[in-house]
Amino acid sequence: MKKLILFVTLVFTMFYLSSCGDSLPIEEDLSNKNYELLNQDSVEVTFPDVVSGKIAIVGYVFTNCPDICPLTTNNMRIIQEKVKEEGIEDVEFVTVSFDPEYDTPSVLKEYAEIRKLDTSNWTFLTGEKSETDRLIRDVGVVAVPSDSTEMEDGEMMYFYIHTDRIAIVDQEGRVRKNYLGSTNHLNLKCENCGEWIDQNVMINQDFVNCPNCNHRNEFESQLAQIIADIKTLAN
Amino acid sequence: MKKLIIILFSALIFFGCEEKKELKEETAQRVDESVSKKEQAEKKILLDAFEDGLHIADAWIRPAGKSRNTGMFFRVINNTNENDTLLSAKSELSQKTEIHETYKEGDMMGMREVDHLVMEAGNIFQFKPMSYHVMLIKLNEALAEGEEGEVTLIFKNAGEVKVTAKVEDKMPTISNDEQEEMKEVN
């Protein structure tokens, strides 16, 4: 009996140590999956093959979203600029629409153009709803029409409640980490007065002034974490 | 004896948890009070910067393509002694114009229409990213960065207030110098 307990303890210890050592565990393996989609130029592509061999930063949006999704897109632009500035190669950016009936390739193209996004390494994906639904379900993104409004011509406009997410996918097509898409949620104790600071901050923000004592608390921004994770996967 | 030990142990856990809960609530209350104190100080500076009356400041619209939706963000400075109510909004920019709020449920984000919003007397109401906004549904023409757009806000007391907003792809403002950037637009 003692031997059995010792064996079980050892197995658990090894399992615990091995999972702790990996800062980027595999969240979802898409390497053997193929999603037949269309890019912003209406070209048929297969995801994740379209970014195979490269690290991909993937965001999930619908273009009719006026508030959250533009922030997610803007954050991806910030990451793209930082990647370029740091000289990190072989990083691709992918935006997947979970509202493909509205977000046709031309709509996605216009969405990128009006925001002056650099599409040299940024692909926007749409396609059959069944296919985009399969993709977002597999990666654990939820997007459900919630509120709606009726237009004068009787057309119903639906607004989605959805997961707020940016993900990093490795060169093999495996999701390695998920981040909040629109803002970074901060929950830290002020190092001066000890009060909890609980608020959303921008992804490139690396300090916050305590609302209680105005002390400047510095921390690693989400942008810095994402760049560090990209570098980890690149090496 | 065993039963007694179990009861004592359970009681310890229970009271320990209760104490933790109280401490957490107390801390949250203290943070709320401190945030409120800072906000009040900021509000006073901003209110002092404006004349009496209801003012709209710092209005901007996110760029979007034709037939798409977008949001307008701004601040309402109610420098009067009476509460006012934002009843609706209208604009030639879009087929429909509504007052919306962004909300969070776990790691999910969504938005929904709100019927009206009360602008408290002597206070500032912020329409900002991740919060309230005027939703421009199905734009009649694309709105590109650098352009301007006009929206009319309809208040119960102040009546129709025309707002000219710049089209910009802004991130939420976090700067402590926010008030310095504010410009009155009407």
A192 and chain B: CB distance < 8 Å anywhere?
Answer: no
- pLDDT of A87 strictly over 80: yes
Residues of B in contact with A212 (CB under 8 A): 30-31, 34
Task: Say if A156 is an interface residue toward chain B (CB within 8 Å).
Answer: no
**Tokens at B136, concatenated:** 């421009």
Mutate to test the interface with A, among B108, B135, B137 (most CBs of A within 10 A): B108
Predicted confidence (pLDDT) per residue in A150-193, tens digit = 888 888 888 899 999 999 999 999 999 999 998 888 889 999 99
Judge whether residue A80 has pLDDT over 70: yes
Provide the chain A residues 205-224 that lie in CB contact (below 8 A) with chain B. 205, 209, 211-212, 214
User: Which chain B residues are Cβ-neighbours of A195 within 8 angstroms?
Assistant: 27, 30-31, 34
Percent of chain A with pLDDT over 70: 91
Q: Check pLDDT > 80 for residue B10.
A: no
End-to-end CA distance of chain B: 78
Alpha-carbon distance B153 to nearest alpha carbon in chain A (angstroms): 18
Contact A206, A218 (CB under 8 A): yes
More confidently predicted of A82 and B22: A82
pLDDT at B138 over 70: yes
pLDDT given for residue A199 in this prediction: 82
Q: By mean pLDDT, which of A28-37, A59-68, A94-103, A194-203 is the weakest?
A: A194-203
Tell me the three-class secondary structure of A179-206, residue by residue: EECCCEEEEEECCCCCCEEEEEECCCCC
Residue ranges of alpha helices (H) inside B93-167 are none
Query: What is the pLDDT, as a whole number, of residue B50?
Result: 82
Instruction: Tell me what pLDDT residue B182 has.
Output: 33
* pLDDT for position B31: 45
Query: What is the pLDDT averaged over residues B150-164?
Result: 97
Specify the residue for token string 């104190």: B37
Query: Which helix or strand (DSSP H or E) is residue B14 part of?
Result: helix B2-48
- pTM of the predicted structure, to 2 decimals: 0.79
Q: Do A197 and B171 touch (CB under 8 A)?
A: no
User: Chain B contact for A187, CB < 8 A?
Assistant: no
| Residue B37 CA to its chain's centroid (Å) | 18
Cβ distance of B109 and A195 shorter than 8 Å: no
Complex ipTM > 0.85: no
Q: Where are the alpha helices (DSSP H) in B49-147?
A: none
DSSP SS3 for B147: coil
A70, A157, A163 ranked by CB distance to B108: nearest: A163
Cβ-based interface (< 8 Å): residues of B facing A: 27-28, 30-31, 34-35, 38, 62-66, 68-71, 95-96, 98, 100, 102, 104-105, 107-113, 129-130, 133, 135-138, 142, 144-145, 169, 171-172, 174, 176
